[in-house]
Structure 1
Amino acid sequence: MMLDQILELYGLNTNNYHIKSFGTGLINHTWKVSGPENYILQRINPYVFKNPEAIAENMALLAEYLKHTAPNYLFVAPIPTLKGERMAEINHKEYYRLFPFIDNSVTITEITNQQEAFEAAQQFGKFTYLLRDFKLEKLHYTLPQFHDLKLRFDQFKEACSTAGADKLAIAATAINDIYKYQGILFTYMQLIDHQQLPLRVIHHDTKISNVLFDQHHNGLCVIDLDTVMPGYFLSDVGDMLRTYLSPANEEERDFSKIQINEECFYAIYKGYVSAMGTALTPAEKEYFTYSGKYMIYMQVLRFLTDFLNDDIYYHTTYPLQNLVRAQNQLKLLEQFTRSENRFKKFIEYFSFKHDNIVN
């Protein structure tokens, strides 16, 4: 068995271990290896990550930096093979990593209370804060232009120009809505063109399952670091707002279930700001709410573009699924926008209260 061969490269006697699929990730395949010690084995998806070596080098650089600057931080780094290699490579086309399994830790797939949102936001903020002085030029871009909203909009326009008339007709309302919200794109372009936001070490995939909790659901650290690269806080905060605020996820077909939990927004803000502290710039605080619109809008573009391109990126299980996903996210964007003023007032009040306490 292939997986047995992989474990042998790490010096593990396969007779002593049991291998079972693990987790809900959609990109890489993951297994739990149970035995005298427990591990996580993961195969990198080469169709998404074209340069696995870049991921391995990024992780090694971050691990070394944190070992010296934050030795008590739990950074779950890959274990080297018996030959000292960062990955196990098979036939020059398959790449595997082995991680220690953190005992008494848990992951969750959906937010059930505000405290979990706070803990997750604090962990993602802490990760970026601890790496605030890391030299960004050392990091590889593992997914170039991953969260470039201008690129996603251009891809959408290209898809509209090549899609068949039937698809354009079915998606007409969603297409019109994308242009209705085009101000989100203009704001992004202004922020980037005028360099109003600092580049930071950003995780880029802040779904709740990428946070490791203890048995009492206190945050321990962030995991799944393949997408860590230079970026803007918009990506991490925006992805949390997109995926944590509604009990209905992007696969929900009953749009009446798509609601905004405003208390969850407040928890995310408090958690992220408590970890970032004074490292968070005034501009980042000003555009904290905008980050949610930015990420939701980007996901609308990506789903609708894939629908118009005949579903070549996202896996589908029924006809029109990517269109339904886009419509779902448009509903979320509508609901988020309705809450936007209350979010901004909360941030103003929170900042005023905090500044007065400090002074």
Structure 2
Amino acid sequence: MDKILAGFGIKKSECSIKPFGSGLINHTWILSNADGDFILQKVNEHVFKKPEDIAWNIEFINAYLKEQAPSYFFVAPIKTVNGRSILFIEGAGYYRLFPFVKGSCSFNVVGNPDQAYEAARQFGLFTKVLSGIDVAQLRITLPSFHDLSLRYRQFLEALEYGNTKRIKEAALLIAELKSHATIADRFEVLKKDPAFKQRVTHHDTKISNVLFDKDNKGLCVIDLDTVMPGYFISDVGDMMRTYLCPVSEEESDFSKIEVRDDYYQAIMKGYLEEMNGELTAAEKGCFFYSGLFMIYMQALRFLTDHLNDDQYYGAKYAGHNFVRAQNQATLLKRLLEKEKVLS
């Protein structure tokens, strides 16, 4: 830690440092010294194979915002003593340092529709203020992250080469997910539609990636590791997947899974408040589809991993990913039941 902090011009003897947050991917600490509070984070190289690409994207976005939208609140990383935005130490990995936003807070679970609205507005605003950037210059930090076509092909491969016992036991769920293959087919169509634009997309729009002020108003979005070119359905769909239901993907009592109409309306209102003038008519027509897209993809990914003996997500108990897959399949069913009401 002495060498890491020295890379940012900080003496360990002059600060306190302790673990911070509940993130599952990167290791995060809060650091305090006479200059204030900071967030120190180690990038998970098992997930992000090229941390330099993340740093490049953030620098590119920061430079654009300084010139084109200087009033937008953007939490940029603090430079190392060598003027870089990410620090590499042989044998220790990649680290970056951010200022801690005073008076801010974040939530692990959406508490009410107002929070859903604020979060959706912040994610919409983030994409809107970057609408003029050359999105092709952004680097891909997680290849094929939200490629539903690929996830469906991986699902079919798991049916052919996966654990035969698990395939047999999951027959009903397999048939159910196959019956919704038109969701994947639609993604193939929209990818070829020039009305669907590649934009600066966050790709991880859970509520914990928004900072709020003391009045529960959104301040900004954070955790930009997955910012890449993408379609708006990724951001809206991920909000629907994680905000609409009162229980998480870990819930095994599927009777608790429901779609809350007021949260859906809050997401729509907040996102379109910023993005209404940016989205094409064809894109707006796929707002409801966004939820189907993301929930279906996650159901496929969980079931695929279960059939492949939990190689990707791992499992905390026997059948963990099978439960998660059933959970998401149930959420998909609940959302489809609301199509006439919400779309």
TM range (shorter): over 0.9
- Aligned residue in 2 for 1:4: 2
Q: Give the Cα separation in 2 of the matches to 1:304 and 1:149.
A: 14
Contact 2:163 2:308 in 1 (8 A): no
Is 1:24 the equivalent of 2:30?
no
Q: How far off is 1:23 after superposition?
A: 1.2
Q: For 1:5-154, what aligned pairs fall within 5 Å after superposition?
A: 5-36=3-34, 37-91=36-90, 94-154=93-153
Instruction: Label 1:177 to 1:311 Cα distance change in 2 as closer, same or farther (>3 A).
Output: same
Corresponding position of 1:195: 194
When normalised by structure 2's length, the TM-score is 0.98
Residue 92 of structure 1, CA deviation: 6.1
1:157 corresponds to: 156
> Is 1:224 matched with 2:184?
no
Task: Write the deviation string for residues 144-184 of structure 1: whole angstroms up to 9, x where unpaired.
Answer: 11101000001111111111221111211111111111110
Distance across 2 between alignment mates of 1:85 and 1:69? 22
**Distance (Å, rounded) in 2 between the aligned partners of 1:5 and 1:321:** 40
Q: How far apart are the structure 1 equivalents of 2:91 and 2:339?
A: 49
Query: Which position in structure 2 is the counterpart of 1:286?
Result: 285
Distance 1:85 1:142 in 2: 18
Q: Greater share of helix residues, 1 or 2?
A: 1
3-state SS, counterpart of residue 105 of structure 1: coil
Q: Relative to structure 2, which stretch is displaced further, 98-107 or 192-201? A: 192-201
Q: Deviations over 1:258-311 (max 9, x none)?
A: 111100000100000001131121111100000000000000111011111111
Match of 1:252 in 2: 251
**Offset of residue 5 of structure 1:** 2.0
Q: CA deviation at 1:93?
A: 6.2
Mean Cα deviation higher: 12-21 or 171-180: 12-21
**Amino acid of the residue matched to residue 167 of structure 2?**
L
Offset, 1:27? 1.1
- The verdict on how the C-alpha distance between 1:29 and 1:187 changes in structure 2, with shifts beyond 3 A counting, is same
Q: Are the aligned partners of 2:288 and 2:339 in contact in 1 as well (CA < 8 Å)?
A: yes
Instruction: Provide the residue aligned with 1:233 in structure 2.
Output: 232
Instruction: Provide the secondary structure at the position in 1 that maps to 2:41.
Output: strand
Q: For residue 292 of structure 1, what is the amino acid of its counterpart?
A: G
User: Whole-Å Cα distance in 2 between the matches of residues 271 and 164 of structure 1?
Assistant: 43
Cα deviations by residue, 1:122-148 (Å, 9 ceiling, x for unpaired)? 000000000011001211011111101
User: Once the 2 structures are TM-superposed, how far is the Cα of residue 315 of structure 1 from its aligned partner?
Assistant: 3.2
Q: Which runs of 4+ in 1 moved over 2 A?
A: 193-196
CA offset digits 1:26-68 (Å, max 9, x no partner): 1111111123210111111111111111111000000000011
Question: What's 1:204 paired with?
Answer: 203
Q: 5+ residue gaps in structure 2?
A: none
What amino acid sits opposite 1:33 in the alignment? L
In the alignment, which residue of structure 1 is the partner of 2:329? Answer: 330
Structure 1, gaps ≥5 residues long: 345-359
AA paired with 2:73? L
Aligned-residue CA RMSD (Å)? 1.1
Report SS of the residue matched to 2:219. strand
Query: Secondary structure in 2 aligned to 1:236?
Result: helix
The secondary structure found in structure 2 opposite 1:279 is coil
Partners in 2 of 1:76 and 1:100 — Cα distance?
7
